[in-house]
Amino acid sequence: MSKLALVTGATSGIGKAFAERLAADGYDLIIVGRNKDRLEEFAATHTDAKVRTVAADLSTDIGVDTVAEICAGEPLTMLVNNAGVAHYMPLAELPADKARELVHVKVVAPTMLTRAAVAGMQERGEGKIINVAGMIAFSGPADKSVMPRRAVYAGSLAHLVAMSQTLSAELEDTGVQVQVLCPGVVATEFHTRQGLDMSVVPRMSAEDVVTAGLRGLELGEVVCAPGVEDTGLLDAVFQADLAAFGGQSPELASRYRAN
């Protein structure tokens, strides 16, 4: 049986690198993006694989519903939720339409596409879901010196981390793997589109991010951080999360009681 992967945001950067790697690995592809010309160009230059193109805007309900229907109806072996926008900006200055676009692309779309795909994967007893987030998901405790401002963006990536971890536990022993892929700064068009010059910042290649993600699946990693050498740092974060979660009580904490 052929392997079938659906990749969102497949026209550039990490998404395109995933599509290229998966095509080389023998997958048939459904590639999703806003730019129809780029999608068709990819299909025309990757004739060794069966490539279906879907032009859809995941910042809209129609776009999400269109792709979710495909996820529910096709026997996907892998789903890569990669589409993204940044809109780095202080929350008070972030235009409402851009805030809505960001939440739709990085929260609503991956949630609904995963929901659509996971039932079929469970029934077939196999499947892999990769949600592309970033190390900014862990930047919440940073003080005001950290730039640029990006509260909504950081929050959307943190959603992907928590959702992926919780879903992975839900799907234990079903044959379905879930991973959240958290690279640092990557050499793609992503920051250029936001008007940010990252040329002097050391950056990982999109191809290395894909290598980490696929190898991370083999290693059984739920949270894959391609640039973090010491995985004990991640373990410490997760253990602290669980310690705080387990430390709650129905009694009011003493610091909140009147003296």
Q: Token digits for 228?
A: 């973090």
Q: What is the DSSP string of 111-137?
A: HHHHHHHHHHHHHHT-EEEEEE--GGG
Determine phi and psi for 127, rounding to 5 degrees: 160, 155
DSSP bridge partners of 181: 132, 224
The one catalytic residue in 27, 88, 153, 256 is 153
Q: What is the DSSP string of 180-240?
A: EE--SSBSSSTTGGGT---TTS--B-HHHHHHHHHHHHHHT-SEE-TT-S-HHHHHHHHHH
Any catalytic annotation for residue 88? Answer: no
Q: Token digits for 140?
A: 């919440």
Nearest to 19 by CA among 217, 180, 149, 214: 214
Active site residues: 153
